[in-house]
Structure 1
Amino acid sequence: MVSNTMMGLLCVGGGTIMHLYLGCFYLWGNIQVYVTSYLHKQDPSVTLDDTSIIFVLQTVAQALCMPIAPVLLRYVPPWLLALIGGVFAIGGVFASSFITNFYAFLFVYPVLFGIGIGFSYMAPIICGWEYFPEWKGTVSGVIVTGFGFGSFIFGFISIAIANPEGLKPDLEVDGGKIFSPETSVASNAPRMIRINCAIWVGLILIAALMMRRMKKGHKDYAPLVSSPTQNREGILNHVSSDHLDMTEEYESKIEIIEPTFMESVKDYRTIYMWIILIFTSSYPFYIASNFKSYEQRDIQDDRFITLVGSLGAVVNGLSRGVWSTLQDFFGFKKVFLFLLVVEVIVAFTFVAIHKIKALYLIWVLISFSTLGGHFSIFATLCAKIYGPTTGGKMFALIFTAFASATLINWILTKQISKGRIEYETLFYILASMAVVGIGKRIHAPSSHFYSISILLQPKDQSPSVYPLCFR
């Protein structure tokens, strides 16, 4: 019989493979110019300014569906949920390659793709937490590493198909430059999309074969604190002597009880995290979705900018494991404060260095790293506050903050196209929002987030629950 550890490693590996195709969520930043050129060829009124809404719609669709996935996991196995998500995501993207109407494309590509990602994203992470409850940060970090590599790999595949000759955008439209209808690039987008989808199908099938949930009889409770060395005796030190006397008297046992979803929603830290994420993730999300269309105004090198975005996607993925592992050792507050300080410095100085290729590359990579940190740090934080099961649901809920951040970015970008603000002003606004995030703290010790209970069960009475919450 295969051990639980081996099954857990297979689950984590399958989740990483699945996140390779889910990571193509960020591929839009690389292929927006190619797809817009194709749609502009069909309808000359379509511009980069119009297609910038696609990244927003992707994020909103994903955010709305992510809370559903943890609920579905109670009734369907993770491999089946992965396949259901794949039908929406891959099916929607593949169907979009046959569409020439811009508004139909708006529904089929970003909405269905986002729905599919929302269904699939948390499934392997939650399963991995069940196998390795003491290493939630590491598990989520390893799995979402695939998310970054996906955009990196398929960014190069996409440019090799859409722009094999390395042509430069030559047609000025609202929002930047695209390829004129006479070029071959303007016709290559459908083929590019279909080849990507064919590879995604193979990835999702392999991943589905590897993901199996831990049997209920073997499920371990997660530790109350972030350090794996603290055991039940350590927990007892935080409990009042009265409760301990009652525990000894009634020969009860101590059991970890996760808060319910509704209890967690009412917890003040939930709205606190949601607000913080809106303020602090807006800048890195802007870079992730607009690095190419923004920079092509000053650097006329499609291959270089594609390389920058692809490397940024890798850093996005790799940094997640780094950030979450640091969080396991140093706690949320210190790690997130460091991330925000780095983000603020980069955001305030971006406009001063973006015309220098080497510095542009470094600044974009750092920006992608802070984006990856937001995902892994808050996914792990939710698991530590609310437990592995409820934590997955809560992260899916606060993920809607990312959708709000992308919507804010889109609104601000529209103000640029209307001539109301300059790009420099936009960056200063986003940097200032991150500064606000530095001043906000979740008011709870980093290592005592769990809600626990002392279960008192006298021999002749039904159990009573006395909730305790360390804050």
Structure 2
Amino acid sequence: MNIKKQQSSTKIKGILTLIGGFFLMLMNGSIFLWGTLNVYITSYFRQKNDPDLSLSIGGAVFPLMTASLATGIPLGIKGIKLFGQARYSLLLSTIITSLMVILSSYAEKFYQFAIIYGVINGIAAGSIYFVPIYMGYLHFPNNRGIISGINTCGFALCSFLFGLLFTNLVNPDGLQQNSNSDGYSYFDGDSISVAQNVPEALRKIGYIFLSVSVCATQLIFYHPNQIGEEEKRLKKQLQLKQQEKKHFQDNLITIEQEIKSIDLYNRYNLKQKQFQNEQDQIQNRQKCDQSQQDFLRQSQQLFIQKIKISEMEEQVLQEKIQISHQKDEQAGLAYANPTLIDEIKHNSEKLTLKKDKQAIEDDYKKILELMQNESQAPNKEQHVNLYIQENDKNMQLTQQNLTRKEEEIKDELKITQKKQKEIDELDKLGAPNILLALKQPKFYLSIFLVVLCLGFGSLINANYKSIAKDYGFKRDSFQTLVGSLAGIANGISRPVWAGLLDRFKFKYLLILVICLQIITSLSFQATNQSKAFFTIWVFIVHFCFGGVLGMLPVFSAQLNGVKIGSQLFGFYWYGFSIANLIQFVLVLKLQTLIGFNNIFYIYFGQLVVAFIIMNYFQFKIEWSKFYMIKKKEVTLNTQSNENIQSSDINSEQKKQNFVVIAQP
């Protein structure tokens, strides 16, 4: 009964953690809100003290936030380890993010706003990003894909919910933007009241972020298997083991002192002997002392062995602590989408077994053919022993030899199969360490691929309002509606693509996403004919955009392994920020010269390059060879350590024997 109550309580805590995580992500997905805020923030600072500020310059906040978020991602897991409770770490981070949104409303210059809202807020938001996913995974280890999908969906839906709310706060009357000589439209002149409402709207949103986030953090419950807990337990064991070792050492010192005192006493009395009766007494006492001394020496050896065992156990615990620490360091994103990672492992195992089976069958057929040819081919020995082979006895021996050879070949095949299986298992482990992974050219090629795949989505996400204005869709209410639907597409795409990855291979789905983006990049300029067409195309672009972001954890794990891939995942977010920076520079330098329609062709070329890379490059690294080298080094070190230990033991035994012989 108590077990059922405990299980029920654990499940309730897990559900509450999932709910809290969703609302936390919903309050901290402001990175995707910038496409809506840009025109309002830029208009505000233009009418305040920077009339030359343009929307293209304002777009710099987007890549700045993505880079800051990537920098903050590892801090979240370290925060759990530092505070011991995820809710404390999240509480601090959410307070910082909310206060940065509020403080940004008091900025006097645009660069101050960019630092407060873009950099500091971005880093704090990054420290929140994976913590709810991680805690949800601990509570629901068998539903990891759902946990990841729900949380990332909340993160993406922030732009939908607060995009509508912010627009209603700053522009309740639906005023339109006015065209400017720089080619963009701003809220000024008869619509300047919209720009003037920006600071108050930012504060209201910041207060909402703060109140909801603080409540949501209290729904994140502790889990005994969370990061750092294993290391804490091991450190406690190490502390107890050190205390035990100190106790043994103290006892050993006491025994050695007693042995020395007995030796000194005996030597002194033997020197001072004068009478026969005193000599007899001394000899009797010496016999008693000798038995006591033998017992003490046995105890001494026992404590020496105990100290050695304690030191060995201490060393093992220290190694376990180091391993646990490394696991914690590498735990950044292994939980981001583990269901998809498991699918990759399952598919690769099936493929490996299939290949192994086919290869073994082919090799076996070749070997049988060679054996038949060998038995049928004429040679000198056959000619010489022609009459002997006709003898039944010799025929039987020949058949036995053939059978034995066939069995040897089968054994060799089994050994080969076993070695191949070991190699495949080592390949699945991924990179042995981060430094080695960073030396692989394919790692940088994968980041380049991410930049290519996310470029077009970043362009539309950051500039859909400017594009809509160029196409004649100038009503702010329509632009806000498009942005809200884009936020929905970005949000729901995460669990949808996660579900597809349960059935289809990652490579094929990413190629599908690239093909969809190629089609939309070529046809986007035709959307100026219809608002519905424009809205649907923006929705599709964001659906693919969210799909690529959702599949990045799988891509990282597939290339570098789950452990190292999770720690290197932040580099792919830097790739995302590079994609944002490229679109910012293109818009800044080329939009007025060639327009958005021609910029779309540039991204068409990028997507074609991504399609070629994905089709003709295998993102797989043979990590097994590095493990084999490391295994040989460990074996050699172990053998040398064993030799050193055996030599130390022998030398110590010799010393003990020498001491025993040297005693009077």
TM-score range relative to shorter protein: 0.7 to 0.9
Tell me: CA distance 1:133–1:40, structure 2 relative to 1, closer, same or farther (3 Å): same
Report the Cα distance in structure 2 between the residues aligned to 1:233 and 1:168, rounded to whole angstroms: 58
Aligned mates of 1:398, 1:336 — CA distance in 2: 15
1:391-402 to 2 correspondence within 5 Å? 391-402=565-576
Amino acid at match of 1:193: L
1:362-392 alpha-carbon deviations (Å, 9 max, x no partner): 0000011111011111123334555655443
CA contact (8 A) 1:140 1:379 kept: no
Deviation at 1:73, TM superposition (A): 4.2
Q: Which moved more, 1:159-168 or 1:223-232?
A: 223-232
Pairing 1:86–2:94 present: yes
In the TM superposition, what are the counterparts of 1:108-119 in structure 2 within 5 Å? Answer: 108-119=116-127
**Larger Rg computed on CA atoms:** 2
Q: Is the 8 A contact 1:320 1:373 kept in 2?
A: yes
Identify if the C-alpha distance between structure 1 residues 231 and 420 changes in structure 2 by more than 3 Å, giving closer, same or farther. closer
Please give the per-residue CA displacement for 1:254-313, whole angstroms capped at 9, x wherever unaligned: 9x9675444444455432321101111000011111101221232121101100001110
CA contact (8 A) 1:308 1:361 kept: yes
- Partner Cα separation in structure 1 for residue 347 and residue 524 of structure 2: 43
Larger mean CA deviation between 384-393 and 138-147 belongs to 384-393
Q: CA deviation at 1:59?
A: 1.6
More off after superposition, 228-237 vs 344-353: 228-237
Is 162-171 or 38-47 further displaced after alignment?
Answer: 38-47
CA distance in 1, matches of 2:594, 2:542: 25
Q: Distance in 2 between matches of 1:428 and 1:374?
A: 20
Matched residue, 1:18: 24
2:343 paired with 1:169? no
Match of 2:82 among 63, 75, 78: 75
Q: Which moved more, 1:96-105 or 1:341-350?
A: 96-105
Give the counterpart of 1:123 among 131, 141, 144: 131
CA apart distance, 1:75: 3.4
Distance 1:135 1:42, change over 3 A: same
How far off its partner does 1:14 sit? Answer: 2.4
**Shift, 1:453, TM fit:** 8.6
What amino acid maps onto 2:67 in structure 1?
A: V
Deviation track 1:161-197 (CA, whole Å, cap 9, x = no partner) reads: 1000000012425351111155321210011101111
Q: Is the 8 A contact 1:41 1:186 kept in 2?
A: yes
Number of matched pairs = 454
Higher relative contact order (CA 8 A, sep 6+): 1
Q: Secondary structure of the residue that 2:180 maps to in structure 1?
A: strand
Aligned residue type for 1:91: L
1:175–1:293 Cα contact (<8 Å) kept:
no
> In the alignment, what sits opposite 2:68?
61
Note if 1:427 corresponds to 2:600.
yes
- SS, match of residue 167 in structure 1: coil
Question: Residue 304 of structure 1 aligns with which residue?
Answer: 478
Where does residue 343 of structure 2 map in the other structure? 226
- Please state how far the C-alpha of 1:235 moved relative to its aligned partner: 9.4
Find 2:509's aligned residue among 304, 320, 335.
335
Matching residue of 1:294: 467
Instruction: Tell me which residue corresponds to 1:349.
Output: 523
Distance 1:337 1:230, change over 3 A: closer
Conserved 8 A contact 1:20-1:147: yes
- Summarize the Cα distance change of 1:101–1:449 in structure 2 as closer, same or farther, 3 Å threshold: same
The structure in which a higher percent of residues are helix is 2
The residue aligned with 2:359 is none
Aligned equivalents of 1:171, 1:95: Cα separation in 2? 30
1:28 to 2:201 alignment:
no
C-alpha separation between the residues in 1 aligned to 2:219 and 2:438? 33
CA distance in 2, matches of 1:389, 1:210: 28
Query: Following superposition of structure 1 onto structure 2, how do residues 270-289 of structure 1 map, counting pairs within 5 Å?
Result: 270-289=443-462
Distance 1:279 1:71 in 2: 31
Match of 2:103 in 1: 95
For the 8 Å contact 1:382–1:395, the answer to whether it is kept is yes
TM-score of the superposed pair, with normalisation by structure 1: 0.84
For the 8 Å contact 1:282–1:409, the answer to whether it is kept is yes
Worse-superposed segment, 199-208 or 305-314: 199-208
Measure how far apart 1:89 and its partner are. Answer: 2.0
Give how far 1:413 is off: 0.5
Matched, 1:107 2:131: no
Alpha carbons of 1:226 and 1:166: their partners in 2 closer, same or farther (altered >3 Å)? same
User: Where does the alignment leave 5 or more consecutive residues of structure 1 unmatched?
Assistant: 247-253, 457-461, 465-471
Q: 1:37 to 1:390 in 2, by over 3 A?
A: same
TM-score with structure 2 setting the length:
0.61
What amino acid sits opposite 1:300 in the alignment?
K
Deviation at 1:351, TM superposition (A): 0.9
Tell whether 2:162 aligns with 1:154.
yes
Pair 238,7 (structure 1): closer, same or farther in 2 beyond 3 Å: farther
- For residues 273 and 128 of structure 1, what CA distance do their matches in structure 2 show? 29
What secondary structure is seen at the aligned counterpart in 2 of 1:143? helix
Q: CA deviation at 1:441?
A: 2.6
RMSD between aligned alpha carbons? Answer: 3.9
* Residue 251 (structure 1) aligns with: none
Question: Shift of the alpha carbon at 1:90?
Answer: 1.7
Q: C-alpha distance in 2, partners of 1:269/1:328?
A: 25
- CA distance in 1 between counterparts of 2:88 and 2:556 reads 25
Q: Which moved more, 1:155-164 or 1:385-394?
A: 385-394
The answer to whether the Cα contact below 8 Å between 1:88 and 1:115 also exists between their aligned partners in 2 is no
More off after superposition, 210-219 vs 398-407: 210-219
Q: Secondary structure at the match of 2:172?
A: coil
**Could you say what secondary structure the match of 1:422 adopts?**
helix
CA separation in 2, counterparts of 1:406 and 1:66? 18
Q: CA deviation at 1:463?
A: 9.7
Bigger CA drift: 122-131 or 327-336? 122-131
Q: Does 1:141 pair with 2:314?
A: no
Which residue of structure 2 aligns with residue 459 of structure 1?
none
Q: Distance in 2 between matches of 1:274 and 1:128?
A: 28
Distance 1:266 1:329 in 2: 33
Correspondence list, 1:248-259, <5 A: 259=431
Percentage of pairs with the same residue:
26
CA contact (8 A) 1:40 1:181 kept: no
Counterpart residue type for residue 226 of structure 1: E
